[in-house]
Amino acid sequence: MEGNYDESKVTMAAIIAWAIWSNRNEVCNGGRVVHGSGRWTTRYLKEYYAANEQLAIVPTAQITNWIPPPTNRYKINVDGVVFKSQKIAGVGVMVRDCCGQVIAALSKKINVPLGPLETEAKAVEVGVQFARDIGIQDCIIEGDSLTIYTALYGNTSPPSTVAVVVSSIKVLCGAIRGVEFSHTQRQCNRPAHLLAK
């Protein structure tokens, strides 16, 4: 049905119908009849809206700043970008120490038309390889793809499109003394993203 309608009246009608149906079922199962369903539904809706307004204004704590690694470790942020029109991908890698100082950075073009998930996986692979190449032995590889992160930790099976790359990353990690993986919000991974672009 097209046209203007009052959403609050439609909501009220649906709640009243639900209340009548619910009470009818209760009576059929030996319960008692509830009179005044209109007043009850009005009170129910007011409580519902009040609860949802309170939930909407509760601030959610999100980490919006990059967090440095512990002393004597390095954090390697990685990210990937897809350039659909050019049918290529780019990866960025930023290596920083416990003081947040940039130790090394890498920007690399991949001349293959990869999808977003495949590009994120390649970014991690390039980051681990880069860590090996510059001699880092204790590091945290951090990216913003939760799918890749959970696959590397073994919490989930990797999607088939990245399973080979995830296996390759695990093999590369065998040559580094201490490697951890970390998931971060996209805004905390901005320097690696800019390198990838």
- Domain of 105, CATH number, reads 3.30.420.10
The residue among 111, 192, 98 whose CA lies nearest residue 145 is: 192
Across 61-74, average pLDDT: 81
Q: Provide the domain limits for residue 43.
A: 7-57
Across 182-195, average pLDDT: 89
- Same domain? 21 vs 89: no
pLDDT at 120: 95
Residue 57 has pLDDT above 60, yes or no: no
- Same domain? 82 vs 47: no
Q: Quote the tokens at residue 109.
A: 């073009």
Confidence of residue 136 (pLDDT cuts 50, 70, 90): very high
Confidence of residue 186 (pLDDT cuts 50, 70, 90): confident
Query: Please, what is the average pLDDT of the chain?
Result: 83
Residue 2 has pLDDT above 90, yes or no: no
Contacts 24+ apart (CB under 8 A), 8-17: 11/45, 12/41, 12/42, 12/45, 15/41, 15/44, 15/45, 16/41
Q: Quote the tokens at residue 42.
A: 């009005």
Overall domain count for the chain: 2
Q: From CA 26, how far away is CA 189, in angstroms rounded? A: 55
Residue 56 has pLDDT above 80, yes or no: no
- Same domain? 36 vs 87: no
Residue 69 lies in a domain: no
**In sequence order, what are the beta bridge partners of 76?**
95, 141
Q: Name the region of 39 (left: φ>0; alpha: ψ -120 to 50; beta: rest).
A: alpha
Residue 137 has pLDDT above 50, yes or no: yes
| pTM to 2 decimal places | 0.67
- Same domain? 99 vs 174: yes
Residue 30 has pLDDT above 80, yes or no: no
- Same domain? 93 vs 177: yes
Largest Cα span, the chain = 77
- Same domain? 48 vs 130: no
Percent of the chain with pLDDT over 70: 79
- Same domain? 166 vs 84: yes
